[in-house]
Amino acid sequence: MIRLLIVEDSVTQREIFRRLFAEDGAFTIVAEAATGEEAIRLVQQHLPDVVLMDIHMPGMGGIAATREIMRVCPVPIVVASATLRRHEIDLAMKAIEAGAVSVIEKPEGAVLLHLQKIAPQLRAELVAASQAVVRRRPLPAVRAPAAISAKMVTVGNVEVIGVATSTGGPPVLLEIFSALPKPFPLPVLLVQHISEGFVEGFARWLGEMTGQPTRLATDGARLEPGIWLAPGGRHLALANRARIELPPRRATDLHCPSANVLFDSLSRHAGTSSMGILLTGMGDDGASGLLALKQAGGHTVIQDEASSLIWGMPKSAKELGAANQELNPAEIVRVMMKAASGSP
């Protein structure tokens, strides 16, 4: 059983969440809090596996409560937020900065049809977050690129880089992209599993925080330097060596956007001129695609276990033998810089 603490000032919202989790045998609600101050106390008292946190509450809000919980008694936190207004999305990104594992759209009012629509994704986010290994520092300090010594292998002539991540990805992306030269001279195609309503705000946040040109990818766009983020509800892929395409979701797709779709397209259209990087996340998305890229002569990298919030996606790739290198974020920065310099 996953022990859940619900933090929400609305009685109606708490009842909605109670109904949802009463139908799911994987969760047990250990406590409920109506304020940020109460949430901090209950976290220390119950030590839940995961916290579902609202942003807007009287007194101490969800962002401040998240920051304080991560300081005094770190546990995985999923922030529930409305997504219709830019201000709400910006607050959700601030919650990520404060240490939240992920953000999710929450049901509005007592509309149970809306609840059923988001229930599978909310459940998946909470399950993934409950497996995270959280640390007291919510965001890693941006470090200078580390010497890789024996870990370094020949990179080759790289023209495009694919990066994919899921739970725990935003802080790692922030660390990596902030440490790269600005602007980074290679195109970076980025798949981040995140609720559709937050994609645009996430792109804006990532660009502002890292100083790297960041935009939502568009179908048929010419491949140019900068970070190209997969839009919500579409895959991100190379159409050829010069163009981006956004394939639609298929009925059989577990994830959209998918890391496998991205890496498969790199293997077909860029091969030895490409690099694939698979970061923290739950599940196995990206593993088979990274293997295809490696077999096509591309350079493949996975994040190491010690620095991963959830070592699921990288671990799956490692078990397939899909990775040329297993590195921490600072070492990944060094490899990306080496690729951009054109030196072997």
Q: What is the pTM of this model?
A: 0.89
Strands, sheet with 325-327, edge to edge from the N-terminal-most edge strand: 214-216, 226-229, 187-192, 160-165, 274-278, 299-303, 325-327
Evaluate whether 2-130 and 149-341 have a shared fold: yes
Q: Can you give the pLDDT at residue 110?
A: 47
Q: Which amino acid is at 80?
A: A
- 149-341 CATH pick, 3.40.50.180, 3.30.428.10, 3.30.1540.20, 3.30.70.120: 3.40.50.180
Q: Can you give the pLDDT at residue 108?
A: 60
Task: Say how far apart CA 186 and CA 203 lie, in whole Å.
Answer: 18
193 annotated active-site: yes
Question: In the chain, what is the greatest distance between 2 CA atoms, to the nearest angstrom?
Answer: 60
- Domain assignments of the chain as residue spans, ordered by start: 2-130, 149-341
166 annotated active-site: yes
By the 10 Å C-beta count (0-12 exposed, 13-18 middle, 19+ buried), 207 is classed as middle
Q: Which of 193, 255, 269, 299 is catalytic?
A: 193
Q: Can you give the pLDDT at residue 278?
A: 98
Q: Which of 9, 49, 54, 285 is catalytic?
A: 285
**What average pLDDT values come out for the chain (344 residues) when binned by 10 residues?**
94 86 88 97 97 92 95 94 74 90 73 64 90 61 39 74 95 96 96 90 94 97 97 96 95 93 98 97 96 97 95 96 96 95 70
Q: Which amino acid is at 172?
A: V
Contact at 8 Å (CB) between 170 and 208?
Answer: no
Q: Can you give the pLDDT at residue 138?
A: 43
What 12-20 contacts at long range (C-beta under 8 Å, 24+ apart), as own/partner pairs, is 12/109, 12/110, 13/54, 13/106, 13/107, 15/110, 16/107, 16/110, 16/112, 16/115, 17/52, 19/112, 19/115, 20/115, 20/119, 20/122, 20/123
Q: Can you give the pLDDT at residue 337?
A: 95
Q: Which of 81, 166, 307, 316 is catalytic?
A: 166
CATH 3.40.50.2300 is the classification of domain 2-130: yes
Q: Can you give the pLDDT at residue 344?
A: 58
